[in-house]
Structure 1
Amino acid sequence: MIGTWVVGGAFVQRARGLKAVNRAVPCLWVLGVICWELLTPHETEVVPLLAAAPAIACASSGRRRCILLLGGASLLFALAPPTALEPDGDAEEPHAGLVSCGAILAVAVASYLTGGRRLRLVRELEQMRAVATAAQDAVLRPLPARLEGIEVAGGYLSASRGAVVGGDLYEVLATPHGVRVIIGDARGHGLAAISTVAAVLGSFREAAHDEPELAGVLRRLDRALQRHLRERALGDPPAGEEPGTPVAEEFVTVLLLEVGPDGETTALNCGHPWPYLLSEEATGAPRIRRPALGEVLPPLGPFPLPADLPAARCAPLHPGDTLFLHTDGAEDARDAQGRFFPLGTALAEAAGPGPIVPAALVTQVREAVLRHTGGRLADDIALLALSQESKPGQPPGHFTPRAN
């Protein structure tokens, strides 16, 4: 599933802690002013400082009830009899208390009105976020846990703050021709590339079911991208993209995979990194290799596809084997010293001894990326893991023949 990849419990606890601090700050301000007034000489006027309490409540919590309570408490303190606070009174400024009350009342009313406007804006923002999340989920849909005997897990890290998806894409579909997979990377990142991602994924979701060969799927993707780029050239640039960006510079790297019922795997690669193959050795230790599976074609967009598109024949995916696919943002991620993320090492540590679980593999790799970069990403990152499940009583390496 698509996720923001923040530890849920820690995030909730931190949010609750911030809310408690925000509510306590204006109360502490009022308490501090009262103590200051009672402990300092009577010639020092600090009561007018209470006027800041409603404003602080508006800026911190924004709750209008809190603004009213603090404003009322401040008014009561300012209206307290002089004998209680200043036994000698103030002959030079007999109306100082009324001036303080007026200031407190004015700030409280302004804060109350501002808090109401802020509440409306927050509600509108929450509604817009809900709509944006639904739209982004429609573009990059949550993956099923299993498809035709293949365990699936995927995840996403967006380089744009507040965005769930960006310029990377992936999808896994069960089709009459086998389980078909796409992972790709559109030029740019974040919100500016979502329209291109939507065009490519929409075409794949149709072509994967219709086309009997991967070459036909790739040609459909190329036509859809060219049509999308022509429409973009005639219209306004997408949100987040600088005006004047040449459409001719747009491209999408794509890796297409097809896994048959017998584990036979074929691939077509247009400028995308090849996947890692993880398998379990007899000793229980993971074996990680990255085979070169054939010719890599240019990315879709700048150049036409060649007339012949031979799909690369990969080694069969045995029960327990896992394919780990990723976009280049994973290997290009850097830390504060400029060092690249060691993806192979992270995979070896995440796989560990024993059976490889795709969901755990993806989770541990993305956590390693976040630790390495300190949460500061320069590009979107998509991760995808596919594992051939072992059937009960089925020895490793045994496959059911493909139906004719």
Structure 2
Amino acid sequence: MIRIRAGASLFRKRLLALGLPLAWGGAAATYKLACPVAQQNGLGARIVGSAVFFAVGTGLVLHVRHALLRELREARKVAGAAQSVLLRPLPPRVEGLNVAAAQLSADRGVAIGGDLYEVIATEHGVRVVMGDVRGHGIGAIATAAAVLGSFREAVHDEPELGGVLRRLERALARHLRERARAEHPSAGAEPDYPVAEEFVTVLLLEIRQDGELRVLNCGHPWPYRLSGTRVEPLARADPLPPLGPFPLPPELDTEHRGHLLPGETLFLHTDGAEDARDSRGRFFPLGEVLAQCARDTHAAAPQAVLGSVFTALLRHTAGTPTDDVALLVLTNDRQPLRPKGARGDDISGSAARARPATTHPQPTNHL
């Protein structure tokens, strides 16, 4: 019954949409067949006939334009809803970390693409994913959704980043198998290599309460660390291969990359940022732009860094990047932790350790 009502409603909408064109066509046919002026061959009759058909044609064009604009608005609403589910807006602050993120699709009219990111506070620390699906635009959205959905569930269940990464690998493999069966239903059998040319680069990051950084990187660009006026990659080692073409190694050793100290910033990005070229073929100088942000004390906030980089990137590419770009900025705004045994809010741990020892007995207060 529900399907019948839905079909009837759709039929009425289509009939109403065709009403105006049919009315215009009926008016033109009536004029041509029934109006005496249309039967004459004089100059005046021809002018009147041309005016009538011009009005009919103009009306039809305006009606089609109005219908296309209405469908475009509805498509943009759907795209906005999909974006809010897939790349949902990140909160400005997560467990003492100031957060800013944005994504730019290379396809005109597409709000989302193949880049993905997420920041989630868990009992194991704040866990972050930044990824890049091969290709861009509509074709990469389903793959990004599969990876993000698995990450949002696995970060709460898996105590180690290695377990999270293996969950992402299994989710990607399932998605690619289902996609292969859908694209080649005549095969009938389970494909051994679902979509061999598809892959996803993934960077997993864990920031613990004391600022300790733990990282697993599968083919993704390393983040930049902004510490004062110093800007440097978080690591320079070769990452693991991207997810998809090759299986993960039996042992996954999470890399320890020091600590993100209070006031320091991590800048995560996809390769669309560093690979963007200008009209002369020159790559976007991401490191130089970040160094300028670090020197400018007014541009140190995550939103300011994000805005400065995007502005410079669009200026470099003349507003037309050829690949999707995703940026994620995390700044540690937590209070420094005092070492155990330190007393007084005005004495830091380093100052206490630097104080020279004395042989004089300390006075004792007796109650």
* TM bucket normalised to smaller: 0.7 to 0.9
Return the alpha-carbon distance in structure 2 between the equivalents of residues 121 and 198 of structure 1. 29
Write the mapping of 1:4-403 to structure 2, written as runs, cut at 5 A.
95-236=42-183, 247-280=195-228, 286-292=229-235, 296-354=239-297, 356-391=300-335
In structure 2, what is the Cα distance between the partners aligned to 1:95 and 1:396? 102
> Using the alignment, how far apart are the partners of 2:49 and 2:349 within structure 1?
84
Change (3 A) 1:337 1:225: same
Change (3 A) 1:394 1:116: farther
Percent sequence identity over aligned pairs: 58
Tell me the amino acid that sits aligned with residue 124 of structure 1: E
Secondary structure at the aligned position of 2:150 is classed as helix
SS at the partner of 1:249? coil
Deviations 1:140-159 (A, max 9, x none): 11111100000001111111
CA 1:214/1:117 → structure 2, altered by over 3 Å: closer, same or farther?
same
CA distances 1:167-197 after superposition (whole Å, capped 9, x unpaired): 1111111112111000011111111111110
| Normalised TM-score (structure 1) | 0.69
Instruction: Give the Å deviation of 1:95.
Output: 4.9
Distance 1:291 1:215, change over 3 A: same
**Contact 2:235 2:257 (8 Å CA) reproduced:** no
In angstroms, what is the RMSD of aligned CA positions? 2.6
How far does residue 272 in structure 1 lie from its aligned partner after superposition?
0.8
Task: Tell me the SS of whatever aligns to 2:196.
Answer: helix
The letter for the 1-side match of 2:63 is G
TM-score (norm 2): 0.75
Letter in 1 for 2:306: V
Structure 1 residue identity aligned to 2:254: A
Structure 2 letter corresponding to 1:134: A
Counterpart amino acid of 1:136?
A: Q
Unaligned runs of 5+ in 2: 1-19, 21-40, 185-192, 337-344, 351-367
1:117 partner letter? V
What letter corresponds to residue 365 of structure 1 in structure 2? V
Alignment check: 8 A CA contact 1:293 1:314 kept: no
Provide, for residues 216-272 of structure 1, a one-character-per-residue CA deviation record: whole Å limited to 9, x for no partner: 1000000001111111111128xxxxxxx9711111110000111111111001111
Superposed CA offset, 1:326-349 (max 9, x none): 111111111111111111011112
CA distance in 1, matches of 2:208, 2:50: 76
Count of aligned positions: 296
Distance change in 2, residues 1:395/1:99 (3 Å): farther
CA contact under 8 A between 1:276 and 1:324: conserved in structure 2? Answer: yes
Contact 1:168/1:186 (8 A) holds in 2: yes
